[in-house]
Structure 1
Amino acid sequence: MLRFLLLFQILYTVYQGHYNFESGVPGLNLPNALFLLVLVMLRFSGRPDEVEPKAFMRGPLLFFMAMLVLAFVIAQVRAPGAFMVDVTYLKNALFSPLLYFMYLHCRQDLRNTRLLVIAVMAVAAIAAVQAIRQGFDYGIGTYVETHRASGPFGSNYRDANRAGVYYAMFLPMFIGLALFLRDKRWRIAALGGVVLLTMALLFTYSRQAYFIAVLGLAVLLLRRSVLLAIVLGATLASLVGFLPESVTQRVEETQQKGPHGEEKVDESTASRWEIWAGALAMWQANPAGVGQNRFKDEIGHYSAFQHFDAHNFYVLTLAEGGPQALLALLLLVLATFRLGAWLRRSMPPDDPEARALAIGFSVTALCMALGNLYGSPFLEGNVMGTFWILCGLLERYMLLKTRQVPASTALVVSGADRMIERFPLAARARGLPARRP
């Protein structure tokens, strides 16, 4: 029963906005109720945990949550509004990161932990199928602003950027598996996921997501082989002409011609810069921040755009929570990078699956950080929830994996040997594996 609930929560985390049910209790929705149910079952399961996770992200996560609470207090003191609305906003902001702790301590063995990781990937592929269907229903001949696919992340085109960030964020996991796994069946399955998420990403028409996906692909290809990166890069560049015309139209909108032929950015890009300038002025006028969920109410005083989102979560955090909240956010992002580095260091030797997951997650963490530079989905549970779940699951997965490797088989590599490993022929002469992380 516990395993079923853990699996169902992964699925519903992404689809919570698509299938929303009221609990009848103010401030309590179905994701919260499901979380509490799983928490109770974990508490009274009576099953001892096989490992004692260190929770690498505990400190940064708790610090970030504390800064969210402080921003809530600032909002109530400085500009009190609808109290229950603010409480619900705070609750939703705090809820999603808690999934990291739940799945880190989910008390599942290696087999079931691996199954949960597969479930996270499968849900991403299912969400991609929905966006693909929307894209084909809209048509791909000519770009139309209102014909952008949002998948399960919203009801209209305004949520397409959020969907694009999600697909770009999880795409490296599939690419990593396709590049580094040895089992042919799983590599084919991973390639299928790459195709699905790439198509879904294209139909969101999110230029930010396009950039993130290309960067993630480049990093993974370079990690696999410089020659492979060059060959595939040239191949993909030659295939640009085969993209749907609507996609190329969307990309070309970034640079436009002025009335006298001069180059200028499109209105969407220019408006973001003006909003960010207004956000900086907002922070200068309120050094401690204007308070949580107050940006849209205040931005009209500092720019020509009223009731607009910041379109950059780092800027939004500075404006609403002050430099202390921005510091907490940056430390949390850094913690995800550190988790990726720990996964790469801890993976057992000659384990292609662990290597693929570790390297794929490292790039996924980078894509997550970039996804909040031109948007602000960081507190959106349906976008970020499964990312936090993946953080907890992969930390647990690697701990369980390393328990299976006898200490005598652990590979100790000196600094000089690590340098030699970068050169395959020299490494082979020394009897060392090439291209360790």
Structure 2
Amino acid sequence: MNNAEAFFNIKFFKYNIMLTFFAPLITYIFSFPVMLFSIARIEIGIFFFVTFVPIIAVMQKISEFPGGNNMADWMLIAMVFGWFVNVARERRGIIERSPVNAAVFLIVIYSVVNLIRGYTFMALPADINLTRLMAWKNYMILPLMYFITMNNLRDEKNIKLLIVCICLAMLAMDFNFYSTFRWIKAEHYSNDIRISGPFSFLGPNELGVFYSMYTFLLIGISYFMQDKKIKWLILFVSACNLYPILFSYSRAAYICMIAGLFLLGMIKDRKLLLLLVVLIIGYSYILPNSVVERIDSTFLGKATVIEESVTSNAIGIGGVSVDTVGRKELWDKAKIYFKDHLFIGIGFDTFRHVEGMITHSLYMKILAEQGLMGMLVFIIFIFVILRQGFILYLYAENSLYKGIGLGFFLCVSVHLVGSITGDQSLYYNLMLIYWVFMGIVAHLSSQLMVKRQS
């Protein structure tokens, strides 16, 4: 090792210590004044929440400090107080009208019905029902953040600051992933080299889909971002995100990237279709060897077909745990539950407790746990938010708002693709940005329709 490499490694080690120890400590200390400031300036709480909550490794460290496990709950309470202060100060209604509101209320109401349904299914033990209730409570953080954002984050300057906060959060997560993966020998693919990076005890598939969703959210915005500094920041972060996407070795993430490039090419930039064709045809010459082997499902000279090992690695966050096992067996069991409980399913977050593992597909989970009624609610919800995002993209006069419409449409679409073989919907850390931008899109599209009607 030469002097330059030694110097770099020392500096890198210091930055890694800062991220893994001092960043959680500083975040924890500053969370208390932020809570107070959020009552008067709610956008401060929103910026803080969006910046740190998605970084699961930091949130896990914060939970080790006194009261740190409840930091997110206290921050939410402070923002709700701030919401009502804004309403009183501006003398306006509590909730702005939007078609998205009805879809979100439908999701919330049916989740309550589905939670109750779970209590009547197979008479699950009290501790499991309590765990299910905790998972539902954490899930409800998302619609609450939707309403908080929709009714309070309205200024273009604040929306730009929110985008910057998301970029900073993703850069921190990129650095966390790189600081771990850089020590792994990845000349050839094997299951052992897959890591979760900043997602701590979640899996590489969740990490890959997360990065894919929000990379396309940012890229969509970048097409219409007139502030050059923020635009270059977005493009830089999007480029950095390619590293964890590639080395997540998640085929779901790769499919998400293909779907995102195809949609963006069809809607906005046809040159991306040519890029997509080049990638599909020449990926084996362009991508790193270990990634190519993962895509080909072979390793060591394409001689052996990789068989996904059946494991039982329990992982969890916010009362939600995951066990990995063969998808076919899980989907077959989900189909059985769906056939036996066709209309309302077996209840919210019940499958994993009955079977000891999740379905590894959002759609299979909805069919098994919520039945046909739940799938209908989900379809209505997705139709409404996709429509509002696309309307905003087509008709917004403000270039930033047009970009938000495009970015959100791409984000939702990529999430739908990633949900075929995965399920991120209950993890508020992963889905927070999704629901926050849903609130922004709901507000902006509602204001747009008012202008068009006047």
Q: Which category describes the TM-score, using the shorter chain as reference length?
A: 0.7 to 0.9
Quick check: 1:387 aligned with 2:443? no
SS in 1 for 2:424: coil
Instruction: Decide whether aligned partners of structure 1 residues 331 and 402 sit closer, same or farther in structure 2, where only a CA change above 3 A counts.
Output: closer
Structure 1 unaligned runs (5+)? 300-306, 411-437
Instruction: Decide whether aligned partners of structure 1 residues 132 and 276 sit closer, same or farther in structure 2, where only a CA change above 3 A counts.
Output: same
Residues 35-50 of structure 1 aligned to structure 2 (within 5 Å): 35-45=76-86, 46-48=88-90
Quick check: 1:366 aligned with 2:422? no
Aligned to 2:164: 118
Distance in structure 1 (CA, Å) of the matches to 2:298 and 2:90: 55
What is the CA-CA distance between 1:136 and the residue it aligns to?
1.6
Instruction: Decide whether aligned partners of structure 1 residues 342 and 178 sit closer, same or farther in structure 2, where only a CA change above 3 A counts.
Output: closer
Aligned-pair identity in percent equals: 20
Aligned to 1:168: 212
Aligned to 1:132: 178
Equivalent position to 2:265, from 211, 214, 221: 221
Aligned to 1:103: 149
SS in 2 for 1:323: helix
Aligned to 2:16: none
Residues 54-65 of structure 1 aligned to structure 2 (within 5 Å): 54-65=97-108
What is the CA-CA distance between 1:336 and the residue it aligns to?
1.9
Structure 2 unaligned runs (5+)? 1-36, 311-323
The 8 Å contact of residues 196 and 203 in structure 2, kept in 1 or not, is answered as yes
What is the CA-CA distance between 1:187 and the residue it aligns to?
3.9
The 8 Å contact of residues 154 and 443 in structure 2, kept in 1 or not, is answered as no
Instruction: Decide whether aligned partners of structure 1 residues 397 and 47 sit closer, same or farther in structure 2, where only a CA change above 3 A counts.
Output: farther
Quick check: 1:204 aligned with 2:248? yes
The 8 Å contact of residues 13 and 386 in structure 1, kept in 2 or not, is answered as no
Equivalent position to 2:423, from 370, 376, 393: 376
The 8 Å contact of residues 175 and 194 in structure 1, kept in 2 or not, is answered as yes
Distance in structure 2 (CA, Å) of the matches to 1:66 and 1:254: 46
Report the count of equivalent residues: 390
Equivalent position to 1:290, from 336, 346, 358: 346
Instruction: Decide whether aligned partners of structure 1 residues 220 and 254 sit closer, same or farther in structure 2, where only a CA change above 3 A counts.
Output: farther
For each residue in 1:241-299, what CA deviation from the matched residue of structure 2 results, as whole angstroms up to 9, or x when unmatched?
A: 232222112111189xxx9x9x9986779931232122111222233322222212434
For each residue in 1:36-88, what CA deviation from the matched residue of structure 2 results, as whole angstroms up to 9, or x when unmatched?
A: 11111221244317997323321111111222111221221222322422221
What is the CA-CA distance between 1:240 and the residue it aligns to?
4.2
Quick check: 1:343 aligned with 2:400? no
What is the CA-CA distance between 1:168 and the residue it aligns to?
0.8
Aligned to 2:31: none
**Which deviates the most, 374-383 or 188-197?**
188-197
Instruction: Decide whether aligned partners of structure 1 residues 41 and 339 sit closer, same or farther in structure 2, where only a CA change above 3 A counts.
Output: same
Aligned to 2:239: 195
Instruction: Decide whether aligned partners of structure 1 residues 104 and 182 sit closer, same or farther in structure 2, where only a CA change above 3 A counts.
Output: closer
Instruction: Decide whether aligned partners of structure 1 residues 323 and 252 sit closer, same or farther in structure 2, where only a CA change above 3 A counts.
Output: same
One-letter amino acid matched to 2:47:
L
Instruction: Decide whether aligned partners of structure 1 residues 363 and 107 sit closer, same or farther in structure 2, where only a CA change above 3 A counts.
Output: closer
The 8 Å contact of residues 168 and 213 in structure 1, kept in 2 or not, is answered as yes
TM-score by length of 2: 0.76
What is the CA-CA distance between 1:314 and the residue it aligns to?
1.5
The 8 Å contact of residues 149 and 160 in structure 1, kept in 2 or not, is answered as yes
Quick check: 1:76 aligned with 2:128? no
Distance in structure 2 (CA, Å) of the matches to 1:170 and 1:398: 20
One-letter amino acid matched to 1:116:
L
